[in-house]
Amino acid sequence: MKFKTKGIDISSMAFKNVVLLHTNDLDKLGIKAHDRVLLEYNNRKIAAIVDVTRSFIEPGTIGLYKNVRDTLQVPDSTEIDVSLTEDPPSIRSIQNKMREKQPYTKKEIEAIIRDIYNRDLSAIEIAVFLLTQEYIPMTIEEIEYLTLTMAEIGERIEWGEEIVYAKHSIGGVPGNKVSLLIVPIIAATGLLIPKISTRAITSPSGTADTMEVLAPVEFKADEIKEMALKTRGVICWGGKLDLSPADSIISAVESMLELDPESQIIASILSKELAVGVNRMVLDLPQGYHTKVETLEDARKFSHKFIQIADRVGIELECGITYGSQPVGYNIGPALEAREALETLMGHGPNSLIEKSIKLAGILLELSGVERGRGSDLAEEVLRSGKALQKLREIIAIQGGNPNITPEEIIVGEFTYDYESPMEGYVKGISNSLIKRIARSAGAPTYKGAGIKLYVKEGHKVSKGSVLMKIYAESEENLSNAIKILETEQPIYIESMLLDRIGKS
């Protein structure tokens, strides 16, 4: 059937091939919303998902989202052929998984990931794929296939005879800027650690967001390789690299669902590290209330599964289960975290950040051959000596930042609010989820100067009216949004030593 084209300047996030049809045209084609149609123009063909409208376009017209228009290279008001087409076979594999609950074959997983990468599955279909992982746990073999397939699609960085080291975290804890300490500690010993990081999806700052306060983080793969071989370490963003590219599409759907299946966490992390060429790796598993693994038993089980998969795909991995029931350090948000990381490297940072960094760095050093039990001592020596600070300054310089920057020169939000204690007592707990929500409402990570500075941690004694935390924002509106949360929620729990008083009735 012939339709006239109309360009629509919209790009679909999780599915690039989308077209818009008037509802009156659905019966003519024998289709419904979210079915697939085949578009043909000048010997070019493309399958696309159908969105429906009653008013945006006229009957007989097909609206082409930007991706479709660019692929077909078709001008407006041009006739093209449109017909119903079949769903990709990978959809049937996902449906069969739901019904039969049998493991995917290697070929089925390869087809699913290939279709996700080619944007031939819709966001809804990717969501179903994730839900099957959540409620029908994958076998070890399935996770291995998933990891290898995700790594094989896209670009890979090769390092020749070099042994490549990595640190990664499963996330979930605000203020976790330890990579800005671990990378220079490891690189200062001569080991190669090219850290390819993510930007925040649901947190107030990802490693790339924090590093970007100090230096540019967007580079091509060959530029990253050249820089890393000179400095032995870099901290870059992987978003513009074609490393495990299907993962970014899947992550976008996970973010919408607030869902992160265990198998997908493993495949996501390991596939990206495989694509970067990593041989040896430490994995940070924060454990605690409101983290991805809330009990120590769950963290241990998860660690063993992670190690098992890593071994099967050729990465020597050790996990560090870390305390995750409250933020790491006292600062949350890109600029505030960059300040705290720099201060810590200069010798006056919080103990929690120092301890976590040297313990995880120590594990990596022991994977390199340092005597077991001596790794953290060596990591602390490198940190205390100033060698790690000097190495971070080298990394900042080679990435195009100011290597002489001081913490005081890092600009934070000018609009602030002090959150005070409503009573005298002791800090019983800090809500990671609320701290993240408040910091994001204040503008982090979009606005680098937004975030939170904590003044207390668990066990601290506080008096009524003492400041528990300060919120930073770059606009009055964002600050107001953050303050509104405090009207109904309590991110820091205070408990009096006297819990109750009971007298004679």
Residue that is written with structure tokens 């010798």 in the block: 347
Distance set, CA 58 to CA 10, 52, 79 (Å) = 18, 11, 14
Distance set, CA 284 to CA 11, 82, 88, 274 (Å) = 35, 50, 38, 17
Task: Retrieve residue 90's tokens.
Answer: 């990978």
> How does strand 492-495 pair with strand 425-430?
antiparallel
Per the CB < 8 A criterion, the answer to whether 400 and 236 are in contact is no
Cα(125)–Cα(135) distance, integer angstroms: 15
Of 418, 417, 420, 428, the closest CA to residue 464 belongs to: 420
Active site residues: 260
- CB under 8 Å to 160, separation ≥6 — which residues? none
- CB under 8 Å to 64, separation ≥6 — which residues? 5, 6, 7, 8, 19, 20, 72, 74
- For the chain, give the number of residues: 505
Per the CB < 8 A criterion, the answer to whether 152 and 310 are in contact is no
Cα(11)–Cα(48) distance, integer angstroms: 13
Output the DSSP codes for 177-231: -THHHHHHHHHHTT-BEEEEE---SSSS--HHHHHTTTS-----HHHHHHHHHHH
Residue that is written with structure tokens 């941690």 in the block: 457
Of 425, 431, 418, 406, the closest CA to residue 472 belongs to: 418
Distance set, CA 217 to CA 121, 238, 336 (Å) = 31, 9, 18
